[in-house]
Each structure stands twice: as C-alpha cells, then as structure tokens.
Amino acid sequence: MANTVYHYIENYSNVGKIGISFEVIGDIVKYSLKTVENITINKNINCEVKDNLFIVNIPIKIKYGSNINELTEVIQEKAVNALQDMCEITNCKINVKVDGIVVK
C-alpha cells in the first residue's frame, strides 16, 4: 500500500492541522479543467514538492488542429486559480505535458 502524501494548509487556528492529500489536489485540478474544450486528461495528475515549490504535472491529449499554446496557458491559469482558491497553494508550478493528439 502506498503512503499518502499531504499538503498542510497554514491554518489561523490553534486547534490542529489541515492536510489535503496530493490525490485530492490532483482531483481539484482535474475538475477545474472540465470546461476546457479540445483536451483530454489521459492519466492521473502528479503532484510533488521540491525546494518549497509545489509542482503539478498534467498529462493531456489535445484535439488535432487546436492551438497548443493557447490551450496550455488556459490550463495553467485554471489550475493555479483552483489551487489558490481551494488549497491556499500560492507557490506553484504547473507543467502541462501534451503527450498525444486526438483526431475526430
């Protein structure tokens, strides 16, 4: 069984810690991208922390003919906003990895 890794939110309360699993953070990012057209998230979203920087890797397939630069910028903006709004993660890097195209 794999160990669950958590991101702990700095809480203004003295009652305890709030931890959000990396899996849940990946789900938050995935749900924030539901409205982005012409993409498919084809694998699990990977999260990690290096040197106090929260890194999210989003593997996608993109519809043939779509503007990759525009779509990946939208993906990055939506992911950052979701992480800031829901998890208070402000120091993050969003890597979008286009690893396939879909022809329809």
User: In this predicted model, what pLDDT tens digit does every residue of 35-81 receive, in sequence order?
Assistant: 999 999 978 899 999 998 999 999 999 999 999 999 999 999 999 99
Could you say which DSSP state residue 13 is in? -
Distance CA 84, CA 102 (A): 31
Q: Specify the pTM.
A: 0.88
Whether residue 2 is contained in a domain is answered as no
The residue among 77, 86, 30, 83 whose CA lies nearest residue 58 is 30
Whether residue 84 is contained in a domain is answered as yes
Angle (CA) 3-18-30 rounded to 5° is 65
Could you say which DSSP state residue 33 is in? T
Whether residue 49 is contained in a domain is answered as yes
Whether residue 98 is contained in a domain is answered as yes
CATH number for the domain that contains residue 34: 3.30.70.1350
Whether residue 16 is contained in a domain is answered as no
Q: Is 67 helix (H, G, I), strand (E, B) or coil?
A: coil
31-38 average pLDDT score: 96
Whether residue 93 is contained in a domain is answered as yes
When divided into structural domains, the chain yields a total of: 1
